[in-house]
Amino acid sequence: MFDLLIRNGTVVTAQGSFPWDVAIQGGKIAATGPHGSLGQAKEVLDAAGKLVLPGMIDPHVHIHHPFKGGYSADDFATATRSAAFGGVTTVCDFAIQWDKEKTLAETCALRRSQFEGQSYTDFTFHACPTRSDPETVAELPGLIAGGVPSAKLYMTYSRQDRMSDDAALCEALKVTAAHGGLVGVHAENDAMCCYYSDQYQRVGKTSPHYFPLCKHNLVEAEAVNRAIYLAKATGGRLYIFHLSCRESLDLLRTARAEGVQVYAETCIHYLTLDDTYYDRPDGAQFICSPPLRSKADVEALWEGVREGLIGVVSSDHCGFSLENKASGCNDFTATPNGLPGMETRLAALYTYGVRTGRISLPQLVALLSTNPARVFGMYPHKGDIRPGSDADLVLFDPEASAVISPEILHSPVDWNPYDGQELYGRAETVLLRGEALIRDGVCCAAPGAGRFVERRAEDMDLNT
Ligand SMILES: [Zn+2]
């Protein structure tokens, strides 16, 4: 007798689509098999007409992000609750060393304590140093061994005192060559960012229209190129966060063909929005780094996704409110960077990717769940539907559609990039380790349902 049986659905994994039932026991997947073949359970969920997907993993989110003395609009509970409505069962946030007096280990412990008791979804984070001294980088092996095997280094934001220098990046990559793990980068050339920003400011061209011209493609590509060379020089393992343009993609293609250990994600907004948004009256809301790119770049990124060069689509969620955004007074140098995206990522990729025929359903699952799990050391506990895996599951209605507005979403963020657009597909029921977070579109969990996910360097796989 199983705890729960999901019957009559179509199970979709990165491997394919199957007319299977799924049995759950003790929070884990106990068995999968053809409809009607798995026996009895205490509870049955009928998934006829629905897709049964592994829980979505968002490997790049910023919750409760500091800004001008305050924070972005959502907190650990509200952000993860909203994410759950988007089918997300695990988020990877960042333990950013805002307080440089704290060690990285202390920074990670603080981040964990902020999620504990609050998070609806399971959670983990990337260690994010802001100091470039040897003592800070020397902490990485301990973190890798202790369940946080990925770091992120900012190659820009010197003026916000967040940048790591190239020596720190080299050293961090060297650590991953010796200990496993992964070094992610926010790749933009800092000197170019400062130089162009000053130039545009000097002539008063600071409206959102100038933002993508200021942080143009080569600002990103130069840093991607440098990071790839440093990975090559050190034998390190590199992850490129939010790759957004054709030039970076070309560098990635060459590097991977040469056997450099580099993996890349793009974000859902780089696949679905473009730089014409900056010419809208509400253009300032769309300021994020890297900027939204040209339609030609968007098409190039879809090609990169189809080729499998880009293996992950994250949200880079940052939930700034309209008030936060307006505080920049339409000046891109003063507007906080970031878009909300956790709740809409699945429907947006389904609508723009699967329904248009650009990618298949198994590819969607790979991009949003299986690959993030493999790359960041959570597989096979997360990211798949197979016996032994956590019963993190989404019953997805592919025919449901909704015109997006902040009112129909579940986030305190009072705007959404897809406002007014019809997006298809809804996560109707979402299970986390066998327990319902969302049931028939209603949240039925409490803050603290989510647990810290201890990740293992040995399980990190870049060949996916
Ligand atoms: Zn980010």
Are 156 and 190 contacting, i.e. CB atoms less than 8 angstroms apart?
yes
C-alpha of residue 354 to centroid of ligand 1, in Å: 25
Q: How far is the CA of 193 from the centre of ligand 1 (A)?
A: 17
Tell me, what's the pLDDT at 68? Answer: 87
Residue 412 tokens, joined: 């305190």
Domain housing 97 = 55-378
| Assigned domain for 372 exists | yes
CA of 290 from ligand 1 middle (Å) equals: 9
Question: Does position 288 have pLDDT exceeding 90, yes or no?
Answer: yes
User: Does residue 10 lie in a domain region?
Assistant: no
Q: Is residue 454 part of a domain?
A: no
Name the nearest CA neighbour of 222 among 200, 254, 190.
190
Strand extents, DSSP E, 72-177 = 88-96, 122-128, 150-154
Amino acid identity of residue 193, one-letter, is C
The overall average pLDDT reported for the chain is 98
Residue 69 scores a pLDDT above 90: no
Q: Which two tokens stand for residue 258?
A: 């040469």
Q: What is the CATH number of the domain that holds 270?
A: 3.20.20.140
Specify the number of domains making up the chain: 1
Percent pLDDT > 70 in the chain is 100
Predicted TM-score of the model (pTM): 0.98
60 Cα: distance to centroid of ligand 1 (angstroms): 6
Instruction: Give 3-state DSSP helix, strand, coil % of the chain, rounded to 5.
Output: 35, 25, 40
Mean pLDDT (whole number) for 48-71 = 96
Q: State residue 349's pLDDT score.
A: 98
- What's the 316 CA to ligand 1 centre distance in angstroms? 5
| 444 belongs to a structural domain | no
Mean pLDDT of the 414-421 span: 98
**% of the chain surpassing 90 pLDDT:** 99
Q: Is the pLDDT of residue 400 over 90?
A: yes
Residue 318 Cα to ligand 1 midpoint, Å, equals: 8
User: Stretch 318-341: mean pLDDT, rounded?
Assistant: 97
Backbone angles phi, psi at 284, to 5 degrees: -60, -30
Check residue 116 and report its DSSP letter.
Answer: T
Q: State the distance from the centre of ligand 1 to the C-alpha of 339, rounded, in angstroms.
A: 10
Res 50 pLDDT > 90: yes
Question: Ligand 1: distance of its center to the CA of 314 in Å?
Answer: 9
Model confidence pLDDT, tens digit, residues 71-128: 999 999 999 999 999 999 999 999 999 999 999 999 999 999 999 999 999 999 999 9
pLDDT digits (tens, 9 = 90+) for 217-265: 999 999 999 999 999 999 999 999 999 999 999 999 999 999 999 999 9
Mean pLDDT of 54-72: 96
Distance 96 CA to ligand 1 centre (A): 11
Predicted confidence at residue 31, as pLDDT, reads 98
In this structure, is residue 354 part of a structural domain? yes
Structure confidence at residue 388 (pLDDT): 98
Which of 367, 335, 314 lies closest to 13 in space, CA to CA? 367
Distance in angstroms (rounded) separating the CA atoms of residues 210 and 207: 6
Q: Residue 124: in which H helix or E strand, if any?
A: strand 122-128
- Residue 450, in any domain of the structure: no
